[in-house]
Amino acid sequence: MTANSRCSAAEPPGLETQRREIESLLRECELRAGDSWYVMERRWYEQWKEFVETGDQNSSSFPGQIDNTELFEDLDSYHLKERLVENEDFMLLPAEAWHRLLDWYGMVEGQPALERKVVDLPSTLKVEVYPVEIFLCLHSNMENVITAQFSRADSIHSIQRAMCDAFTVPPGSECRLWMKSSDSSCERLRNVHVSVLDACLSSGMTVIMETRNADGTWPSSRPQIMRNSVEDQDSYRGQPGVCGLTNLGNTCFMNSALQCLSNTPPLTEYFLLSSYLEELNFTNPLGMKGEIAEAYADVIKQMWSGRHYSVVPRVFKTKVGHFASQFLGYQQHDSQELLSFLLDGLHEDLNRVKNKEYIELRDAEGRPDQEVAEEAWRNHRRRNDSVIVDTFHGLFKSTLVCPECHKVSVTFDPFCYLSVPLPVSKERVMEVFFVSLDPYAKPAQHRVVVPKAGKVSDLCSALSEMTNLPSTQMVVADVFNHRFYKIYNADECLSCILDRDDIFVYELSVLEEQQEEQVLLALYLRERSHYRDYGSGSSSYGTSLFGHPLLLSVPRSCCSREELYKLFLQRLTRYVRPPGPSEELEEEEEDEEEEELYKTQTNGISDEEEQEDAEKAGPSQTQPCCGGSSTNSQSDESAAAKRPPDVNHAQPSLDDGDTEPENQTEPVCSAGTSNTDANAVTPSGDSSGTADAEPPAEQPQPPCETTEEEEKEEDKQEEACSPSPPANEQPAKRKACRKRRKSLFTIQAVNSNGTTERGTGEGGSAVSFSSQPYVAIDWDPEMKKRFYNENEAEKYVKHASMEVPQQQTTVQLQECIELFTTVETLEEENPWYCPVCKKHQLATKKLDLWSLPEVLIIHLKRFSYTKFTREKLDSIVDFPLRDLDFSGCLLRKSLSNGEPPSRYDLIAVSNHYGGLRDGHYTSYAWNKDNGQWYYFDDSKVTYAREDQIVTNAAYVLFYHRQDRIRTPSLPPPTSSPASSSTQPANDITSCKDDDDAAELGAASSSSASMETD
């Protein structure tokens, strides 16, 4: 850059010629971005002008060598002085004019030529007199700082090259740059192809370079790594790719998807070779500015470094949530939905097409399929060209036929994965509890098969065949939190009943002479509080529901309180013990307020009735059981979420027809457990409330699910949180004139929630018949403790139908693919606009496979959603591990020379265990280097056998075309460390190990109880 020669060997032209040439260059040269101009001291330039204007070669005004001494602060650093002014302190010359003057006059020895670039500033072009002066250093040695000047037009890549040269960074090292401003905040310089100006680099800033570690991490953001011990941190060397992913909280869906993609050879090799660095697209408005691709690359390089047991993908999770808000937080999601987002995001971040052109799509219009398909694929590649398209995109043919004019529309559309449906059964298995009229019979749990599109009457008919009772004597209800959420009519659809609902079917009594009107009475059980409910705005006593509600068919004439008391007592005989002859239950005189609360609207029972009921009741059973009642408060009600009967949970065993208790700690579906009652029974079964307690027995109830978050549950919780006023108070206060027989409970008309109380009905009856009548019987806590046996009340038996194993249906993958290509009629919500009829039509649609990608992803649509129902299909799909042949499915039957075959081998499977709203994701994957199958369960990785891979949990399948599969470079592992208690949970253990093989088998089986995230 310096020119120290005095004058060039060639003689300069005449002075007039010099003047004309330089003035012409100054007059004609325009500023163009990126061009070089030179700074020259104005004094020297003015003296040169004076010299050439004299026309005398021997004039005393000869300028001598070009000298810019006055422009520098000092002659050591040659820094320009601050605030120099153009045309006063210096002149700007275009490169050609500068070089001519340099040739004619030379330059003072040692001085650098002041070359400056033309930069394109917003709305103007300008010569950059003062370049950007920045400090450069390595992350590994922040003390060694050098200073360098760069033009604002220079690229960040030129800074990176200069730093690699200055710090002698080994060639081939993967580097990244950080920009640090004066306030100590650092920012990544992601796009190395932008200019210094666009990167907002200014003088005084520091650029820090770091190189990737051997284990795939970056020094500046070394993540948490799951290690065995401190000693293993740097010494561990494992099989590359065999690395777990830590669950950050419900992120097993993400881990499963990442493990499948990590074991897709062409994509992983693309990232391991850092090919993505040259293809990052920072300007794509549909992309994520390269951040998703970089975050994914970091995870892959760490997993395939062979230096980690498990990696924590926290940065990747944060990036995904930033660009896709549905994945924010730590809720459970669908692994296929994440795969769809990730493949699309990687494609847009790595799209080689920087400016997408508009392409108008054409219909086939009778042209040959081959021609139309090639045109469609060309058009697709003109806008979409990335490693994702190269690896995962195929083409299918879509044929639409108008049902009216029979217009045929043929288009060819690209796909990234195939979502194939599973054959859906037209029948449904339901589990219900049947409550018999026999007061001594326990509720029986039945499993019935009903039509999916059937009605409630079909459920009653199916139950009728099992019980030999007419279906007309049955009524179906949904029980939630000790109350009826809904009482169904016989003509209502079964689709509105969810599998998790607690369905009770009640047998109703039928009089021989149907001359009198029958009333369907809903009965709730409530317990009065010991304390007044001052928060309700009155000095009354609060109540809380407990136990199971009942439905009874009662003659209208028997709705007086006295008749209902007898009926209820008889109906509850199994778990309500009438007082014996020796037990005195006489009411004592109390103050007016207590009398008003406890003795209004009651009817005594005669000694004969008590004696008769006592004989029926049998021996005394007085022990209260935990889980029988719930406190009617916001916190307790919301905690008692609804759970459906579920045979996959630990069910209590049956002994002599009864469901005997096991160590079950969950509440029964409709009996919310309060903390007070739960503490009433000690672990040894001793009751603190009674001396003659029964043997210990915990609730033998169907276990519950507490993870559902549907609107129905929200509605139920709102209803459950309503405050419970106590029994009505008589308008007129009265005192007891004499002692009389006291009732076990009082009867009160209530609303459907069992909270708001109503007045008495017409004609002195206890209920109102204007709508569905609901009645509650209110128990004094002491009376409930003595005469109500909660343990007995919660018992149920299992019908023989519950013991019959459910048939596991198996379908072939080929059936699912054929179902994908069958003709279907479009739904009303998604009609097709016919260009001939000029209106939307419900056309028939058929999809056919035309060309397949190198890696084929098949998504099994296990989750079925309709207007009313949502279900997961647990059918086993039998898919081949090798030689999946699509030749019979491809529309293009004859393959020309050079076209790839259509046989595929399985390389990965994403599994889902559990139900709709909860569950757990794992994956199986085939390692490309050693040909071994592995089972990935978050941070734990174990060997897998091929016979374990096909299960009813398989959700997303990854197939690799056989012609692109390379032979593994390493032999499969033959031995492994023995399993022991000190071995880490995420260590590799051989499938020859009995314990681990059993564990894998359990994880793969359909009845596995997988841990819910």
| Closest C-alpha among 860, 882, 881, 862 to residue 872 | 862
The pair of structure tokens assigned to 832 is 């097709």
- 920 classed as catalytic: yes
Q: What amino acid is encoded at 916 in this protein? A: L
The Cα-based distances of 441 to 437, 987, 995 in angstroms read 8, 54, 45
3-class DSSP string for 742-802:
CCCEEEEEECCCCCCECCCCHHHCCCCCCCCCEEEEEECHHHHHHHECHHHHCCCEECHHH
| Closest C-alpha among 957, 956, 949, 813 to residue 886 | 813
The pair of structure tokens assigned to 993 is 């190990």
Give every CB contact of residue 973 below 8 A, 6+ residues apart in sequence. Answer: 239, 930, 932, 943, 990
Give every CB contact of residue 605 below 8 A, 6+ residues apart in sequence. Answer: 565, 566, 569, 741, 743
Q: What amino acid is encoded at 156 in this protein? A: I
Tokens 């920009």 locate to 179
Beta strands in 876-1007 (DSSP E): 876-878, 884-885, 903-914, 919-926, 933-937, 940-943, 954-961
Are 880 and 863 contacting, i.e. CB atoms less than 8 angstroms apart? no
Q: Which secondary structure element, helix H or strand E, spans residue 544, and what is its range?
A: strand 541-555
Distance, in Å, from the CA atom of 648 to the CA atom of 630, rounded to the nearest integer, reads 26
Distance, in Å, from the CA atom of 413 to the CA atom of 500, rounded to the nearest integer, reads 40
Catalytic residue among 137, 243, 252, 460: 252
Q: What amino acid is encoded at 226 in this protein? A: M
Give every CB contact of residue 873 below 8 A, 6+ residues apart in sequence. Answer: 422, 424, 862, 863, 864
Q: Is 463 left (phi over 0), alpha (psi -120 to 50) or beta?
A: alpha
- 252 classed as catalytic: yes
Angle at 302 between CA 299 and CA 305, to 5 degrees: 145
The Cα-based distances of 504 to 434, 501, 567, 782 in angstroms read 6, 10, 21, 30
Classify residue 941 as exposed, middle or buried by CB count within 10 Å of its CB (0-12, 13-18, 19+): buried
CA 252 from chain centre, in angstroms, equals 9
Maximum C-alpha span of the chain: 150
Catalytic residue among 308, 333, 920, 960: 920
**335-349 and 314-323 helices cross at what angle (nearest 10)?**
80
Q: Is the dihedral of CA 26, 29, 33, 34 positive or negative?
A: negative
Torsion of CA 411, 412, 413, 414, to 10 degrees: 180
The pair of structure tokens assigned to 929 is 């280097």
Residue 697's CB is within 10 A of a number of other CB atoms, namely 21
| Closest C-alpha among 292, 293, 257 to residue 275 | 293
SS3 of 612, please? Answer: helix
SS3 of 195, please? Answer: strand
Distance, in Å, from the CA atom of 930 to the CA atom of 947, rounded to the nearest integer, reads 18
Distance, in Å, from the CA atom of 23 to the CA atom of 100, rounded to the nearest integer, reads 12
DSSP 562-593: HHHHHHHHHHTTTTBPPPPTT---BPPP--HH
HSE-CB at 541 with a 13 A cutoff on CA atoms is 21
Are 356 and 296 contacting, i.e. CB atoms less than 8 angstroms apart? no
Residues labelled as active-site residues: 252, 920
